Amino acid sequence: MLNLETAQSPQKLRRVAIEPVSRVEGHGKVTILLDAENRIHQVRLHIVEFRGFEVFIQGRPYWEVPIAVQRLCGICPVSHLIAATKAMDVIAGFGPLTPTAEKLRRLLHYGQIVQSHALHFFHLSSPDLLFGFESEVAKRNIIGVAAAFPDLAKQGVLTRKFGQEIIAHIAGKRIHGTGVIPGGVNKPLSVADRDSMRAGIDQIVDWSKAAVGLVIQLHETNPDFYRTFGESRANMMGLVDRRGALDFYHGGLRARDADGGPIFDQIDYATYRNVLQEDVKNWSYMKFPHIKTLGADKGWYRVGPLARVQVCDVMPTPLAEAERRTFLNAGGGKPLHGALMYHWARMIEMLHSAELARELLDDPDIVGTDLMADKGPRREEGVGVIEAPRGTLFHHYRADDNDLVSYCNLIVSTTNNNQAMNESIRAVASRYLSGRELTEGLLNHIEVAIRAYDPCLSCATHALGQMPLEVDLIDADGTLVSRARKG
Amino acid sequence: MSGTETAIVVDEIPVPFKPGQTILEAALEAGVYIPHLCAHPEFAPHGSCKLCTVIVNGRNASACTLKAAAGQEIEVDTPDLHAYRRTLVQMLFVEGNHFCPGCEKSGNCQLQALAYDSEMMTPHFVEFYPHRPVDASHPDVLIDFNRCIQCELCVRASRDVDGKSIFALVGRGMASHIVVNSPSGKLGDTNFSVADKAAHVCPVGAILIKRVGYAVPIGERRYDLEAISEEASRCAGEEVR
Ligand code: SF4
Ligand code: FES
């Protein structure tokens, strides 16, 4: 770990703030403390917004919570819907889901991953990768991509749209629908809707494969840079099924260390508290979770695409698994930890999700009508965990005898990545910024590293994409020296 | 007998009425929609929400309470009345805590349906955000007072149909609110039953059958199928739900 979390004597230093970080979801802020020679002494990614959702939903009926909690997020609300409902399946007393219900939930989830990954890569990150981090700000956005690479931009938009259509067919709406309810799903998939999705899915698989190819091409332009930019050697965590294959919807928790060695495996996620601990720091609203046995200093970990493709033994679809092998080879047998490697892993996952969706659309169960599980006695407590687009997502609830939620704990993907993101931007700052005059392009290097994680910083959005960036230069007395704006 | 003696004119359409019928009853029976909220065909009119305000021969009146009479020329669908109804709906919204996106009554809620009908785009007024309790003490029914609009339909149903008088409106003006008739004030300490009429009349998401939640998919909910005005016209002559 680089020691840039807390400066030795901050009072002598100049402070630079990047606020808000643009093209990420929600409000975040980066502060950098510099000395007179522009040497970097401290870098922190802060979360400046506090929504208090965990408190807000206490006292609400448990069946309402999965719908209410979707509002945490404007990009992947379905993730919260599914994770919360999995917890409520338990609390409501339901037994195992019917095959149709589980498959519809999975299809919904895969649609969600496709749309979220497509949005992230094409809309939010491709401008940096295609034009360069220090390219002209006015063109460094999806509009610029559409002008320079019209086919690519079109594929991005249509791939995302396809994911949203899957969501609309199952949840009833493209965003903030229902569909998933404790015990199952509330409506069958019609044959007509299935057929319309089946007709489009081959194209999405092809485009996703092409997207992986594009990332590989970009990578080949400068492999060392791609491999090492924003590198932070981290433990990795994700869900795997009993065979050790990646499973986005359900599985046991597995963690590996930065060299790929085992830390834990097949942990029942309902007992996550036995293996994970959440810490609070006084400078951020976002908690810092870590693996208990390793302690706060060594136990922080990474989740999301870059962790998942390296934590699992296999991705159980042929095209994605072949791409995963190519990816692993790029590391020469060692796990990859560069922030930009997220993009490559993310596109492999988009391909995997498209393939999984295709398998489900060919499965007769998907148009079944047996939607609800058998119900037993109510339970007091439930935990629901999935692999959301951004990483492992925990929802943990208790409900009292009157059916009202009495306790809630959420660990969202971005929180799991909190320390890893901080370490990545510290790596970028010390490598590229330290000792130089700060420019918008250099500060964008920091944002590129953050964006690679695809953070959902508030997980409760108002605006998407083009947020203004404001950089304040403040001297050690707190006086504003200069201010630059973009957006 | 000529038609004019047994008919009123609603927005220039002749609407027949039977002796004793209110303007609202006659209009609905003829398939002419007049927005309303606290009125319910099975209960005596209450006249509190004022959403059914119409102009009868030049003067404002509540269609749910005023009896139809020959010679009435009634205006319903005027821009002024439309705007006035929207204001009333907006006031109802800000007075309680109505967060449609997370509410399980969404799509089945008359207040929401009337917000659409009156083309309400924003709450307009400053939200009160009142602190109101949830009563979940009953095993099968939950009351979320955050969404109560004090229409007293539950009061009327429990008293007049169920013979239990479990609900009452107390307080005055801004302080008025529904209470439950039990020593603890909790629904769980009454003989209320999920089979009671009062468990099924709430036009908003205040009295809810537990564990139903979002079982009806989007697209199949009451007002997904047709707007509240279309439903009223289609159900002309039938008992309006
Ligand atoms: S609880 Fe429902 S039925 Fe009773 S007064 Fe309130 S809104 Fe009307
Ligand atoms: S419906 Fe007439 S006053 Fe409420």
Which backbone phi and psi does A390 adopt, to 5 degrees?
A: -90, -5
* Whether A174 contacts chain B with CB within 8 A: no
Share above pLDDT 70 across residues of chain B, in percent, rounded to a whole number: 95
Interface test with B, best of A178, A372, A404 (most B CBs within 10 A): A178
Please choose, from the candidates A237, A215, A211, A249, the residue with its C-alpha nearest in 3D space to the C-alpha of residue A357.
Answer: A249
Nearest to A59 among B134, B213, B218 (CB): B134
Which backbone phi and psi does B214 adopt, to 5 degrees?
A: -105, 35
| Tokens representing residue A138 in the block | 């006015």
Judge whether residue A436 has pLDDT over 90: no
Instruction: Quote the pLDDT of residue A175.
Output: 77
* A71 min Cα distance to partner chain B (Å): 8
CB distance A395 to A459 below 8 Å: no
C-alpha to C-alpha distance for A402 and B218, rounded to whole angstroms: 27
Point out the least confidently predicted range of A79-88, A140-149, A229-238, B61-70.
Answer: A140-149
Judge whether residue A155 has pLDDT over 80: yes
Looking up tokens 């943990």 gives: A396
C-alpha to C-alpha distance for A100 and A372, rounded to whole angstroms: 9
* Whether A181 contacts chain B with CB within 8 A: yes
Decide the pairing of beta strands B141-144 and B13-16: unpaired
C-alpha to C-alpha distance for A321 and A104, rounded to whole angstroms: 23
Region B61-85: mean pLDDT is: 96
Three-state secondary-structure class, residue A463: coil
- Best residue among B25, B43, B46 to mutate for probing ligand 2's pocket (most ligand atoms within 8 Å of CB) is B46
**Residue A263 — pLDDT band, cuts 50, 70, 90?**
very high
Share above pLDDT 90 across residues of chain A, in percent, rounded to a whole number: 57
Q: Residues A93-133: pLDDT tens digits?
A: 999 999 999 999 999 999 999 999 998 888 888 888 888 77
Spell out which residues of chain A touch residue B214, defining contact as CB-CB under 8 Å.
Answer: 63, 67, 178, 181, 186
pLDDT, greater one: A360 or A38: A360
Which CA distances in Å does A276 have to A237, B50, B153?
11, 57, 51
Region A207-222: mean pLDDT is: 93
Q: Residues A360-378: pLDDT tens digits?
A: 999 999 999 999 999 999 9
Element (H, E) at A355: helix A341-361
CB distance A272 to A300 below 8 Å: no
Please choose, from the candidates A413, A403, A406, A402, the residue with its C-alpha nearest in 3D space to the C-alpha of residue A458.
Answer: A413
Judge whether residue B89 has pLDDT over 60: yes
The DSSP line for B38-58 is S--TTS-----S-TTEEEETT
CB distance A182 to A63 below 8 Å: yes
- Would you say the CB of residue B240 lies under 6 angstroms from ligand 2? no
Report which listed range, A348-357, A408-417, B36-45, is most confident: A348-357
Q: Which of residues 61-80 of A touch B (CB under 8 A)?
A: 61, 63-64, 67-68, 71
Instruction: Quote the pLDDT of residue A57.
Output: 84
Spell out which residues of chain B touch residue A53, defining contact as CB-CB under 8 Å.
Answer: none
Q: Which CATH class is domain A53-416?
A: mainly alpha
Could you tell me how far CA B182 lies from the centroid of its own chain?
A: 26
Instruction: Quote the pLDDT of residue A22.
Output: 60
C-alpha to C-alpha distance for A67 and A60, rounded to whole angstroms: 11
Torsion-angle region of A266 (φ positive above 0: left; ψ -120 to 50: alpha; else: beta): left
pLDDT, greater one: A148 or A397: A397
Instruction: Quote the pLDDT of residue A195.
Output: 98
Q: Do B218 and A177 touch (CB under 8 A)?
A: yes
Those residues with Cβ within 8 angstroms of residue A470's Cβ, 6 or more apart along the chain or in another chain:
A17, A18, A19, A20, A483, A484, A485
* HSE toward the beta carbon, residue A218, CA cutoff 13 A: 22
- Would you say the CB of residue B138 lies under 6 angstroms from ligand 2? no
Please give the single-letter amino acid code of residue A147. Answer: A
Rg, C-alpha atoms of chain B: 18
**Residue A477 — pLDDT band, cuts 50, 70, 90?**
low
| Tokens representing residue A100 in the block | 């149709």
Domains of chain B: 6-77 (3.10.20.740), 85-225 (3.30.70.20)
C-alpha to C-alpha distance for A356 and B153, rounded to whole angstroms: 51
CB distance B38 to B48 below 8 Å: yes
C-alpha to C-alpha distance for A452 and A471, rounded to whole angstroms: 20
* Whether A214 contacts chain B with CB within 8 A: no
Q: What pTM was computed for the model? A: 0.89
Please give the single-letter amino acid code of residue B241. Answer: R
**Residue A24 — pLDDT band, cuts 50, 70, 90?**
low
Report the DSSP beta bridge partners of residue B233.
none
Region A399-417: mean pLDDT is: 91
Judge whether residue A48 has pLDDT over 60: no
C-alpha to C-alpha distance for B54 and B64, rounded to whole angstroms: 10
**Residue A470 — pLDDT band, cuts 50, 70, 90?**
very low
Point out the least confidently predicted range of A2-16, A253-267, B186-200.
Answer: A2-16
The Å distance, Cα B16 to ligand 2 centre, comes to 21
C-alpha to C-alpha distance for A5 and A11, rounded to whole angstroms: 15
Instruction: Quote the pLDDT of residue B192.
Output: 98
Instruction: Quote the pLDDT of residue B84.
Output: 96
Report which listed range, A30-39, A44-53, A70-79, A417-426, is most confident: A417-426
Judge whether residue A52 has pLDDT over 70: no
Region A283-310: mean pLDDT is: 91
**Residue A466 — pLDDT band, cuts 50, 70, 90?**
very low
